[in-house]
Amino acid sequence: MPWHLDVEAWPAAVAYPAFPDEVASVLRAAAAAGLRVAPQGTGHGAPPLSGRLGEAVLLRTSAMTELRIDPERRIARAGAGVLWGDVVARAGAHGLAARHTTAAGVGVVGTSLGGGLSWYARPGGLQCSALTAVELVLADGTFVRATDDSDADLMWAARGGGGGFGVVTALEFDLLPVSSAYAGMLAWSWAEGDRVLRAWRSWTETLPEAFTTVARLFRTPDEPWLPADVRGRRLVVIDGALIGEVDEGARLLEPLRALKPEIDTFDVVPPSSMADMHLDPEAPAAVYANSVLLDDLPESGIDALVAAAGADADSPLLFVEIRHLGGALSRPAQRPGVLDRITGDFLVLGVGLADGVGLSSVRDETNRVMRALQRWDSGASYLLMADGEVDERRGWSSAAAQRLEAVRAAADPDGLFIPPRPRT
């Protein structure tokens, strides 16, 4: 079973290799048996693979748990089974931070290959742009270590291409020198959603790039993994992190604190404390998520979102969040890659739990909320946050998509690997 418990994969076979030579053996055996191969770490990206594995080997990489931190070079090396929570803890012990996701239980390789948004996104860019080396096994069983100086096409494809060109066994990537951050959460009653979101949207226009924030309409479940003061409540939440200018944090937050939040946890904290700050569920769950990238979010966009998912909408979704993008995310990365920036100023993500209501109901509701914002859709997609039927070519520029297709064909001429999502 993948992390997404609503997905029933039913592959022809499952393999758990721990080393590159074992991966090569699996690939050769699959090819000889006339089967295709789908690499998978935690299974957070499993929904687009649903129904596509009946004649395939599901190659689980969870046994590849090598993790090394080089504090002098500020480089991390992570095997394909490593989770972000482990990297955050190990790097934080050296005063370093990774561009990790907001959920500690997500795999490093999957998010790195697909992009990677973090609490450091506006100043630090995408995680995929931090990659300096990728080790993988190609369809013919050949082991390759790709860098910008060797097998550069594969290195380029690994930076945001999502996969489909080999089985990645390990990655190496830059770390950020972060000894502390001004980070935390502000929360109000759900009924304050319209007022708080309008204020937050206006406030983001004045923020330095060092501050990355997310606003959410959050129906918190009554679960023990949540803090007692938020458990089982309906809240509007703003969380985020300021790095490099932590002394300015309190001053920058004054306009939001003037709205008198019920909960205020912002403080100077070590980066190791930020892995669980977003309160994302870590245990496997039956969930559905979809997202839309917006060119802008004017007051009419806030109105549309609150009408679709706010207090009066009685939406069953777990949360709808707005991620403030821009900064380094909007500029070409220094290292070339399929995904070297994100087209859009905001990303809206809707997530629902299928327990009790059914997957189809959650999917329909999530898609309905996303359609309410269609007027401001940038036309691009952030594929890591789209469980629905999204043509993967929306994830990149047309030129990058064509080049990625060529790289995949060269590395896998017989189509052994199943791409992370189908083309529609």
Residue 207, judged by CB atoms within 10 A of its CB (0-12, 13-18, 19+), counts as middle
If you count them, how many residues does the chain have? 424
Stretch 94-105: mean pLDDT, rounded? 93
pLDDT-based confidence at residue 423 (cuts at 50, 70, 90): low
Structural domain contains residue 1: no
User: What CATH number does residue 87 fall under?
Assistant: 3.30.465.10
- Token digits for 249? 């944090």
Stretch 1-24: mean pLDDT, rounded? 88
CA dist 360 → 38, 106, 134, 286 (Å): 25, 24, 37, 12
How many other CB atoms are there within 10 angstroms of residue 254's CB atom?
A: 9
**Cα separation, 361 vs 103, whole angstroms:** 25
Asked if residue 350 and residue 250 are part of one domain, the reply reads yes
Asked if residue 146 and residue 27 are part of one domain, the reply reads no
Structural domain contains residue 424: no
How many angstroms from the chain centroid is the CA of residue 378? 19
Residue type, 77: R
315-354 pLDDT tens trace: 889 999 999 999 999 999 999 999 999 989 999 999 988 7
* Structural domain range at position 75: 67-177+396-411
pLDDT at 315: 85
pLDDT at 288: 85
Asked if residue 73 and residue 55 are part of one domain, the reply reads no
Structural domain contains residue 420: no
Structural domain contains residue 423: no
Tokens 């909960």 -> residue: 263
pLDDT at 356: 65
Asked if residue 369 and residue 307 are part of one domain, the reply reads yes
**Cα separation, 76 vs 133, whole angstroms:** 10
Asked if residue 360 and residue 220 are part of one domain, the reply reads yes
What is the pLDDT of the chain when averaged over all its residues? 93
Structural domain contains residue 7: no
Stretch 115-119: mean pLDDT, rounded? 97
Residue type, 319: F
Asked if residue 139 and residue 253 are part of one domain, the reply reads no
Residue 57's DSSP bridge partners are 13, 37
Number of domains the chain contains: 3
398-407 pLDDT tens trace: 999 999 999 9
Query: The pTM is what?
Result: 0.95
Asked if residue 246 and residue 99 are part of one domain, the reply reads no
Structural domain contains residue 2: no
Asked if residue 229 and residue 343 are part of one domain, the reply reads yes
Residue type, 180: S
User: What CATH number does residue 253 fall under?
Assistant: 3.40.462.20
Structural domain contains residue 417: no
Asked if residue 32 and residue 129 are part of one domain, the reply reads no
Asked if residue 214 and residue 73 are part of one domain, the reply reads no
Asked if residue 254 and residue 186 are part of one domain, the reply reads yes
pLDDT-based confidence at residue 43 (cuts at 50, 70, 90): confident
